[in-house]
Chains A and B, each alone.
Chain A
């Protein structure tokens, strides 16, 4: 089965630093998402992206967050100035234009110290 690839698998950073999380979607997928999951808590929607623009974002996705697809392949999530509470597993998910199945990457565990 095709896979969504996320890098890095783990990222440790100091509070206030910028981090970029990367995702390579499945090649024919058109809708891209970032979710996060704080340890022991639910999967939370951050943002959805379609046709090179954000289609929806949650309250969590404030000005510190941004997404882009700079080269037509990688889909990135940037956190400009990390906070302790940004520590979580970040999942990228993608789907086709017609399908409703979300394919998740294996996640990036972000630890902010």
Chain B
């Protein structure tokens, strides 16, 4: 079983739409959770960390469900500039290793 699994998409949505991505992880001892954004042929960049209580940053909301080993990212009022691949990243119980999902591709259309 993969450490981190994501729906690859693509998700094709119109501007202004709300879109949600999900991610599951296999190791119940995982400590920390993140969403990264990757533009085509560029490096991943941290979008936001994911906390047990859920957290919001502008149009972006992240949720963690430890019982189901499930992370989500909600994007409200999608912009053209949100088009990218969104990577779910999990830090394992080994303090030094980060596991990447295969990414979910988002295309926001005018």
Contact = CB atoms under 8 A, between A and B. Distances in A.
Contacts of A109: 41
B77 to A, nearest CB: 26
B44 A43 contact: yes
- Chain A's interface: helix, strand, loop or mixed, by majority? strand
A45 B102 contact: no
B11 interface: no
B100 A43 contact: yes
B64 interface: no
- Chain B's interface: helix, strand, loop or mixed, by majority? strand
Contact of A42 (B91, B98, B100): B100
Contacts of B89: 102
B44 A41 contact: no
Nearest to A100: B32
Interface residues of B, number: 23
Contacts of B36: 102
B94 interface: yes
Contact of A45 (B42, B44, B99, B103): B99
B94 to A, nearest CB: 6
28 contacts: A33-B98, A41-B102, A42-B100, A42-B101, A42-B102, A43-B38, A43-B100, A43-B103, A44-B100, A45-B97, A45-B98, A45-B100, A55-B96, A56-B96, A56-B97, A100-B32, A101-B46, A101-B49, A102-B36, A102-B46, A102-B89, A104-B43, A104-B44, A104-B45, A105-B43, A106-B42, A106-B43, A107-B43
CB-based closest 10 A-B pairs: A104-B43, A42-B102, A43-B100, A48-B96, A55-B96, A101-B46, A100-B32, A106-B43, A56-B97, A104-B44
Interface of A: 31, 33, 35, 41-45, 48, 50, 55-56, 89, 91, 100-102, 104-107, 109
